Structure 1
Amino acid sequence: MATLLDTIGDRPRHPEKAHRPDQPVMKKPDWIRVRSSSSPVFTETKNIVRENNLVTVCEEAGCPNIGECWSKKHATMMIMGDTCTRACAFCNVRTGKPAALDLKEPENVANAVEKLGLNHVVVTSVDRDDLDDGGAQHIADTILAIRKRSPNTTVEVLTPDFLRKDGALEIVVAAKPDVFNHNLETVPGNYLTVRPGARYYHSMRLLERVKELDPTMFTKSGMMVGLGEERNEVLQMMDDLRMANVDFLTIGQYLQPSKKHHAVSHFVTPEEFKSYETAAYAKGFLLVSSSPLTRSSHHAGEDFAKLKAARQAQMSAA
């Protein structure tokens, strides 16, 4: 797993966090167990990622499910480089000034998807506030390249917020991903400390706008708990997402990448996660994934099949 001390040349991984006071790191409870993997399939997946010069959020964000997912040839592609222009307090992705876009990347991603034989792929990216369109065209090009190589593969995108990038969202939606995901990450009261470069109501409006542009497109959002939020704030956030007609909600435990990142306020019990799931279904989400190790792209292929089935059942009952 990458750490705060990692460098590219002489550049630290998180220069903006280097001088922050250390935050306490809480011991993980018994119900959070992360398994590593040394299976041949894990190694094969890793080799395909390396051969195509790809970056994965699995590695860059230190995802706890990498052992499980890569052993099933499931890797979440992170495009537009490994360096983000934002400095979110929870995130372990490298921050700084990114390199120029790799124009071969869409084809490289499509090649890896074909080699991995994926039925469903998740493509995410760093924030690229330095680009006029926030990288929207590059995301669209990647969707189209995958469709050309693997026409039967469904594509899920997990996008930046395209803050102050007029027309960017429309470019991505026009490429017709099967699922449009944008994570709110946390409740609005935490944004100044957890996600300072973003705006809660802009992100909410982004998700609502997707449905206005294409009512048939599945929308999805996720949040972390354990960042100091109150239960009533989580429930209000669910209501906000339903007002934006979001179909799928994921809720997972925040895990602190280093002493310089935002501290974990508390570990949410499996029973509390189940309670959130029950509440979310009662509010009308088609699908909910709520557990300590839930992450946006974990089991994404299986979840997409459930999402389609849930919509069909809803339409049949109408």
Structure 2
Amino acid sequence: MSRELPVINATAPQTFRRRRDRLPKPDWLKIRLGDPTMQNRVLRLIQGLNLHTVCQEARCPNIFECWSDGTATFMICGDTCTRHCGFCAVNKGKPGELDPEEPRHVAEAVRHLGLAHAVITSVNRDDLPDGGAAHWAETIRWVRRLNPDCKIEVLIPDFNGDEAALNTVLDAQPDVLNHNMETIARLYRRVRPDANYQQSLTLLRRAAERRDREGRGMLTKSGIMVGLGETFDEVVELMKDLRAVSCDIMTIGQYLQPHERRLPVERYVTPEEFARWREIGLQLGFRHVESGPLVRSSYHARRQAENSREGISTAVHEVIG
């Protein structure tokens, strides 16, 4: 059943580009289709457990490659977001009730897929007093209960700056705490009209401070999209802001307009620029920087975390330096 396209928040200035006016995609934006047999297995599993994946909802370009490898990023708290980001394809509107069976179903899906590293994200649930934090914690606990050897990476919303909600998630002890900045500060009103740049930095700082205070091995992580009108140096400034709050891992990928009612691509960033950002990021002290045209937050997430723990990126940093 098709969905009616949501109306973007009128308070945020938007510009849209008709299909015939879009910039032509460069040759380096090629997508691997992968093995349809494994893709169908993942799809049947997701549908059978009444789950959602950000791979489908956000129209991720890597869905074929990841599903062929038997991996998926689970999206909890339903499939309808209360915010109006200018880049996102996820359905907007009034969400339904939380599914109390969802945490267990996510854990069962992780077990069926035999995942060694599970990535979980969610829509924003500003309609809930805790932003869905308790549901998040229950999901982490269920995944840990059924998959004790699996590493758990969570890509969380900002919970409107509620430190108690963040602590509820941290109490469940995820292995990687990810919160995406999405874009540079100057573009927030256009790209993330319901979010706040400093609030997102504060969330990452609080997570890192609590980790350090308690002596945990948890990694912190954030990511952005480029091609929305930012400059090269503005991305570098954002990287410095992330390092100032002790962020360990950063992802940088090309924004791709999911449909005509979303922000247009202002430019396609070259592979050489992505490589340069990676070099700069490692020099700034990130444990790992995943930077490339098709990079997304959960793309090669297991490798990112393993490299960060094993010091592989540090070794590259020493060579570059």
Give me the TM-score of the superposition, normalised by structure 2. 0.92
Counterparts in 2 of 1:312 and 1:242: CA distance versus 1, 3 Å: closer
After superposition, the C-alpha distances for 1:247-299 in whole angstroms (9 at most, x for unaligned) are: 00000000011122111111000011001100101100000000000000011
| Greater share of residues in helix | 2
User: What fraction of aligned residue pairs are identical, expressed as a percent?
Assistant: 46
- SS of 1:77's equivalent in the other structure is strand
Q: Aligned-pair distance for 1:14? A: 1.7
Uncovered stretches (5+) of structure 2, i.e. residues with no partner: none
State the match for 2:155 in structure 1.
Answer: 158
Counterparts in 2 of 1:79 and 1:304: CA distance versus 1, 3 Å: same
State the match for 1:225 in structure 2.
Answer: 226
State the match for 2:261 in structure 1.
Answer: 260
C-alpha contact 2:227 2:265 (8 A) present in aligned 1 = yes
After superposition, the C-alpha distances for 1:171-220 in whole angstroms (9 at most, x for unaligned) are: 00111000000000000000000000000000001000001111232000
C-alpha contact 2:79 2:90 (8 A) present in aligned 1 = yes
Equivalent AA in structure 1 for residue 223 of structure 2: G
Aligned residues: 307
Find out whether 1:287 has 2:294 as its counterpart. Answer: no
For the aligned residue pairs, the C-alpha RMSD in angstroms reads: 2.0
Counterparts in 2 of 1:293 and 1:64: CA distance versus 1, 3 Å: same
C-alpha contact 1:25 1:256 (8 A) present in aligned 2 = no
| Whole-angstrom distance in 1 between the partners of 2:2 and 2:245 | 39
Find out whether 1:121 has 2:112 as its counterpart. Answer: no
Find out whether 1:45 has 2:37 as its counterpart. Answer: no
Equivalent AA in structure 2 for residue 55 of structure 1: H
Equivalent AA in structure 2 for residue 291 of structure 1: G
- SS of 1:163's equivalent in the other structure is helix
2:201 to 200, 204, 228: 204
C-alpha contact 2:251 2:295 (8 A) present in aligned 1 = yes
State the match for 2:22 in structure 1.
Answer: 25
After superposition, the C-alpha distances for 1:17-73 in whole angstroms (9 at most, x for unaligned) are: 79x764242211110012334521111111111111100000000000000000111
C-alpha contact 2:32 2:64 (8 A) present in aligned 1 = yes
Q: Aligned-pair distance for 1:16? A: 2.9
Give me the TM-score of the superposition, normalised by structure 1. 0.92
State the match for 1:75 in structure 2.
Answer: 72
C-alpha contact 2:226 2:253 (8 A) present in aligned 1 = yes
| Whole-angstrom distance in 2 between the partners of 1:178 and 1:167 | 19
C-alpha contact 1:183 1:221 (8 A) present in aligned 2 = yes
| Whole-angstrom distance in 1 between the partners of 2:312 and 2:125 | 33
Structure 1 segment 225-244 matched on structure 2, within 5 A: 225-244=226-245
- SS of 1:31's equivalent in the other structure is coil
